[in-house]
Amino acid sequence: MISTRKFLRVLFGGGLLAPFLWLAGKRKSRKAAFLWQIDPDKCIQCGKCETACVLEHSAVKCVHQYAACGYCLFCSGYYQDKRVKFDTAAENLRCPTDAIKRTYIEDPYFEYTIDESACIGCGRCVKGCAAYGNGSLFLQIRHELCKQCNQCRIAEICPSHAVIRVPADQPYIFKRPPEVKT
């Protein structure tokens, strides 16, 4: 009969634990092989990305695909529909946290950049840009913030099934230009 001391030596020497360690390694590598990400062409900017993430401050932020931007004087992602006038007073702006910075380029063009530390992922600017502009603003899960939960809370409740798993070596999905959309 095997002694207690011998049993423990075999156990912690890796003998009996080997299958479990192998399984844990497989699970870990499977988790690392895929990441959660938003398909911007499916997202309808419902607003749930702001509040559904398990983090206190959502891992979802607005990002800007500059190549698609019109650098508009009157950006519909920046300005409210019902603005009093086109100035930078908070009541005229769409973003509730002043996370969009507007910089003059040359007449009549302005550049719009997102301060991700202030962005709460509400998607209001994305909705405005998609409705009246080029759709160059979109929501993205930022991987340096995301905890890569086994089951993403946002994916569970997203009404358009826009939160999907992507290969870790292709962690971002960018907007497709309108001409190649199917």
**Identity (one letter) of the amino acid at 19?**
P
- In whole angstroms, the minimum distance from the beta carbon of 23 to ligand SF4 comes to 23
Kindly give, in sequence order, each residue whose CB lies less than 8 Å from that of residue 51, ignoring residues fewer than 6 positions away: 58
Cβ proximity to ligand SF4, 16 vs 88, nearer residue: 88
Cβ proximity to ligand SF4, 11 vs 156, nearer residue: 156
| β-pairing verdict for 163-167 and 137-141 | unpaired
- In whole angstroms, the minimum distance from the beta carbon of 146 to ligand SF4 comes to 3
- For residues 147 and 76, give the distance between their C-alpha atoms in angstroms, rounded to a whole number: 32
Binding site for ligand SF4 (CB under 6 A): 36, 38, 43-46, 48-49, 53-55, 59, 62, 94-95, 97, 99-100, 114, 119-125, 139, 141, 146-149, 152-154, 158-160, 162-163
- In whole angstroms, the minimum distance from the beta carbon of 171 to ligand SF4 comes to 12
- For residues 53 and 56, give the distance between their C-alpha atoms in angstroms, rounded to a whole number: 8
- In whole angstroms, the minimum distance from the beta carbon of 27 to ligand SF4 comes to 16
Cβ proximity to ligand SF4, 36 vs 79, nearer residue: 36
Cβ proximity to ligand SF4, 19 vs 159, nearer residue: 159
Residue with tokens 């398909």: 39
Burial class (CB in 10 A: 0-12, 13-18, 19+), 112: buried
CB 142 within 8 A of CB 33: no
- In whole angstroms, the minimum distance from the beta carbon of 57 to ligand SF4 comes to 10
Bond before 108 cis per omega within 30 degrees: yes
Cβ proximity to ligand SF4, 15 vs 96, nearer residue: 96
- In whole angstroms, the minimum distance from the beta carbon of 164 to ligand SF4 comes to 10
Cβ proximity to ligand SF4, 62 vs 72, nearer residue: 62
* φ/ψ of residue 105, rounded to 5: -105, -70
